[in-house]
Amino acid sequence: MRAVALLAVSTFSASLAGCATAPEREIVMPECSLPAPVYPAQSRRLGEMGVVEVRTELDTEGRVIAARVLRSSGMIRLDDAAVAAMRAVRCSPALDKRTGDPVAYAFEQAIRFRLD
Task: Tell me the per-residue pLDDT of 36-94, one tens digit each, with 9 for 90 and over.
Answer: 999 999 999 999 999 999 999 999 999 999 999 999 999 999 999 999 999 999 999 99
pLDDT at 24: 75
Nearest partner of 112 among 60, 36, 59, 58, judged by Cα: 36
Q: How many Cα atoms within 13 Å fall on the side-chain side of residue 54?
A: 29
Q: How many CB atoms are closer than 10 A to CB 43?
A: 22
Structural domains of the chain, ranges and CATH numbers in brackets? 2-115 (3.30.2420.10)
pLDDT at 54: 98
